[in-house]
Amino acid sequence: MSRDLERLEPSDALDLYLESRDDASEKTLDGQYYRLRAFVAWCDEEGITNLNTLSGRDLYAYRVWRREGGYSGEELKTITLRGDLATLRAFLRFCGDIDGVNEELYDQIPLPRLNGSGEVSDSTLDPDRAVEIVDWLDRYEYASRRHVIVLLLWHTGCRVGELRALDVGDVDLEGDRPRADGPAIHFVHRPESDTPLKNREKGERWNAIGPHVAQVLEDYLSEDGPRVNVTDDYGRAPLVTTKHGRVSISACRDTLYRVTRPCWRGKACPHDRDPATCEATHYAKMSTCPSSRSPHDVRSGRVTAHRLADEDRALVSDRMNASEEILDKHYDRRSERQKAEQRRRFIEL
């Protein structure tokens, strides 16, 4: 039996949905907010001010709009479109629960099927480019928050949530703790104070860091260093801070979008755009640059670098806190030719 619907504006529905997701991590909410913000923008463009009027035909039109580059400005890959529509389905199911749309409307969004080659994103940060960016920051923004974020993401290959979770006390710069031979950082699962690790207690580990990384952190943390000396809402001392407290995941992500744009470092635009008029030079649009990369891309680039160096798979798996199967499927971006050349070194031809 159908229920009477109550007026629900798209932006209000988005706020209510995000408030209801108290089971989700900040990273998950950030991703869902971005995807649903596209839907709200489409509703505004189409003059839809009340979700009660949504139909299956509208949802089909939205799917085509997103697939062809609506909101992002670029055509979406199948895997990205599928994620976008899966989030919209969950959102509309929620709206049905609160009498904002027909209860079964969400089921009218067919998710695109993936083939074997479309299951995994192929976006990555090329290892050589990652090194160039780190070197540039080392020279021009030494020991800045931006430098520390990029350096740790690249050097350790950690997830951005793991970086955010680090406290000052999790850093051993002297390497003088029991059974330690050098500097290292400790990833700890602390869900009770808003810094959970993706794999919970299984994600806890020590990662060794090199002397240069340790020196950068020491200078960042020094009394006259750039770290803002604040505590978070739980009285903890975060490693990476802003004037408001512990750095957010979105701020870390924006840092990567910024520094991976070639024009930001004074390089010529490889996309024949004029930086004076390119919208990707604006803060809110940095992610639209074709060259911009996310923290996930840094992680896949790090795995690729480990693979190219023929480093032990089990050790890389432990350091990255992911199974060898997951690393191979989701993070290894070596080309087939690169793999062939590596095999050449071990096979007598």
Q: Which two tokens stand for residue 112?
A: 């695109």
What is the pLDDT, as a whole number, of residue 339? 64
Q: 289 and 146, same structural domain?
A: yes
Least confident segment among 143-147, 277-281, 284-288: 284-288
The reply to whether 345 falls in a domain is no
Residue 291, CB half-sphere, CA atoms under 13 Å: how many? 21
Whether 220 has a pLDDT exceeding 70, the answer reads yes
Q: 82 and 28, same structural domain?
A: yes
Whether 119 has a pLDDT exceeding 60, the answer reads no
Q: 278 and 135, same structural domain?
A: yes
Whether 179 has a pLDDT exceeding 90, the answer reads no
Question: Is the pTM of the predicted complex or chain greater than 0.85?
Answer: no
User: How high does pLDDT run on average in the chain?
Assistant: 85
Final residue of a structural domain among 66, 92, 118: 118
Q: What H or E segment, with its residue span, contains residue 279?
A: none
Q: 135 and 62, same structural domain?
A: no
Final residue of a structural domain among 50, 84, 118: 118
What is the pLDDT, as a whole number, of residue 2? 47
Q: Which two tokens stand for residue 46?
A: 């189409």
The reply to whether 336 falls in a domain is no
Amino acid identity, position 21: R
CA dihedral 280, 335, 126, 120 (to 10 degrees): 50
Per the structure, the complete domain to which residue 114 belongs is given by 10-118
Whether 327 has a pLDDT exceeding 90, the answer reads no
The reply to whether 322 falls in a domain is no
What is the pLDDT, as a whole number, of residue 1? 36
What is the pLDDT, as a whole number, of residue 47? 87
The reply to whether 189 falls in a domain is yes
Q: 192 and 89, same structural domain?
A: no
Position with higher pLDDT, 112 vs 275: 275
- The CATH number given to whatever domain includes residue 199 is 1.10.443
Q: 185 and 58, same structural domain?
A: no
Q: 183 and 37, same structural domain?
A: no
Least confident segment among 46-55, 301-310, 336-345: 336-345
- Residues of the chain with pLDDT > 90, as a percent, come to 46
DSSP state, residue 211: H
Q: 179 and 81, same structural domain?
A: no
What is the pLDDT, as a whole number, of residue 180? 62
Q: 177 and 289, same structural domain?
A: yes
Domain count for the chain = 2
Rounded to an integer, what distance in angstroms lies between the CA atom of residue 332 and that of residue 339?
Answer: 11
Q: 81 and 155, same structural domain?
A: no
Q: 106 and 15, same structural domain?
A: yes
